[in-house]
Each structure stands twice: as structure tokens, then as C-alpha cells.
Amino acid sequence: MTATTEAPLSTKRRKSTSARQNLFGWMFVGPFAIIFLAMLVLPIGYALYLSLFQKSLIGGTRFVLFGNYVKAFSDPSFLDGVWFVITFSLVLIPLQMAVSLAIALILDIIVTRFARFSRLMIFMPYAIPTVIGALMWGFLYSDTFGPLAELFGTFGAQAPDFLSRNLIFYGLLNIVTWQWAGYYMIILYAALQGIDPTLYEAARIDGASQWQIVWRIKIPMVAPALLLILVFALIGTLQFFNEPKILQDLAAGSIPNDFTPNMYAYQQAFSLANYNYGATISFALGAVVFICVYIFLFATRKRGSIFS
């Protein structure tokens, strides 16, 4: 067999092998792609379609294009909810970051069996379902039969009502911090474990104290992990829903149906059967989340580092 006949045969074999590999690849990806399209892409597309229409008793369903979005961004209930979650984020995220970073730094120094047990216990709240965690804190906050009320009652004092309108902000702040600080701590602890120990040895030889090592080496080295956590926390907090919705019945009027944008969308869609406007609120909130995250990422990119 000559070289001219061997070349086409070799090319055909390569094409056949590549085609089989592509087929096997699509066979593995195909089931996930079908579920992804059916359970995520199509529902989002249908919700976007609903947001472009308006349903009324007299005129029926009519196409309004962006009319619902104009209404949403002039709706006091939606705007007040957006302002609340933004304010909540400005307080919650720095608090979560400070707590999780402090715990991660302490556990990074301690190398005993107690440190392993501590990591597990601090991470444990994240493993507890949100519903159970919120109900548990609702019981603890109760001003009538909760342990907090009994503790203060022992000394003849009245326990603070964290489910009241004046303190519900701080009650929710405590719940979310308790639930997520352990998760963020694990991310930061893993980043700390990835730092080369020789950097610490070199710093000690130069006379650096433990405090200087923390501020000059550890915190700057885990800056990418901190940035990742900040983005996750910002997105999650702007979509705040589970905890206030679960505590709504226990809070005795402190948490209205438009407390957060997601709760307002839920009320419009499932309580008032106004699916079109509920879908609009959801996409309007998505636009707010996108803008906030983009501004944050743009600001940190311009600076080069969140600590510079």
C-alpha cells in the first residue's frame, strides 16, 4: 500500500474516532441539557413572556411591552422593598465577612483536634434547612414562651422582642449571619490553607509579629476568596425571601407582604393571581441584582484589589 492511499484512510479513521467521541459526549451532556432547558430556560422564558402582558377584568389580556416594568419602577411597594434589601446588604455583608474571616483566621492558627470540632460546629448551621432554622429562631425570639423571655423574666426584666417592627431588622440580621457565616468561613479557611507556609517563616525571620502576618500576608492572599464571597452574599441578600416569609406569621404584622421584592412578587403571583405583574417584579429585581453586582465588580476591577 502506497503513502497516497494510507493518508486518506488515516484521515477517515481520525474523523470516525472524532465523530464517536462527539456522540458519546453529547450522550453524557444530553440528559442534563434537556433538564436544564425544561426546568430553567423554558420557565424563565415563559415568565418573561408573561411580564410583557397585562390582564384586567374589563380589557382582558393585552400586550403592553414594557408597561409593567414602568409600573414596577414607580411602585412604592417594590421600591421600598428594594431599598430594604440594599440597606440590609450594607449591614449584613460586612458583618458576615468580619465574623467568618475572624473565625477562619483563628482556626488557621489553632492546629489541634479542637479546631476540627470547631470547624464542624461552626459550619453546622449551614447544613440546617432554612425553614427549620427560621422556625427555631422564631421560637427563641418569642416574647411569651421562648427561652429568651424566660431568661429575662428570671431577673424581672422584659426580653427584647426581635419580632417587633422596631427590632425585626436585627432579628433577621442575626439569623442570616448565624446560618451563612460558617459556610463563608470554610471558603476562607480553605484559601488560608493554600498559602505557602514559607511566607510566614520568612516574615517571622524579618521580625514580623502574628498580627502583622495576618494583615500583611494572610488577608491580602485570601482577597480573591473574599471577593467571591462578597458577590455570593450580595446576590443572595438582594433576593432575600425565605427567612422573612417563614417568620411572617410569627412576627404579628412586622413583616408585610411587600417586605422584600421577592415577597411582593410572591404575593402578586400566588395570593392575588396577578401572574403577569409578579413575573415583572421578578425580572425587575433581577435587573437590580445585575446592576448592583456589575457596579461592585467594576469598582473592584478598577482598583485592582479590594484591599488596595
pLDDT for the residue numbered 8: 62
Which residue's entry shows cell 446576590? 235
Q: Answer for the pair 303, 74: CB distance below 8 angstroms, yes or no.
A: no
Residue with the bigger pLDDT between 25 and 82: it is 82
* 68-114 pLDDT per residue, tens: 999 999 999 999 999 999 999 999 999 999 999 999 999 888 877 77
> Does residue 142 surpass a pLDDT of 90?
no
pLDDT for the residue numbered 175: 93
CA distance 182 to 160: 26
Mean pLDDT of 254-261: 91
Q: Cα 200 from chain centroid?
A: 33
CA distance 209 to 203: 8
pLDDT for the residue numbered 305: 47
> Does residue 15 surpass a pLDDT of 90?
no
Domain 70-303, CATH homologous superfamily name and number: MetI-like (1.10.3720.10)
* 194-223 pLDDT per residue, tens: 888 888 888 888 888 888 888 988 999 999
Number of H helices and E strands in the chain, helices first, is 15, 2
How buried is residue 261: exposed, middle or buried, by Cβ count under 10 Å (0-12/13-18/19+)?
A: buried
Domain boundaries of the chain, sorted by first residue: 3-51, 70-303
55, β-bridge pairs: 61
* 114-140 pLDDT per residue, tens: 778 888 888 899 988 888 999 999 888
pLDDT band at residue 308 using 50, 70 and 90 as cut-offs:
very low
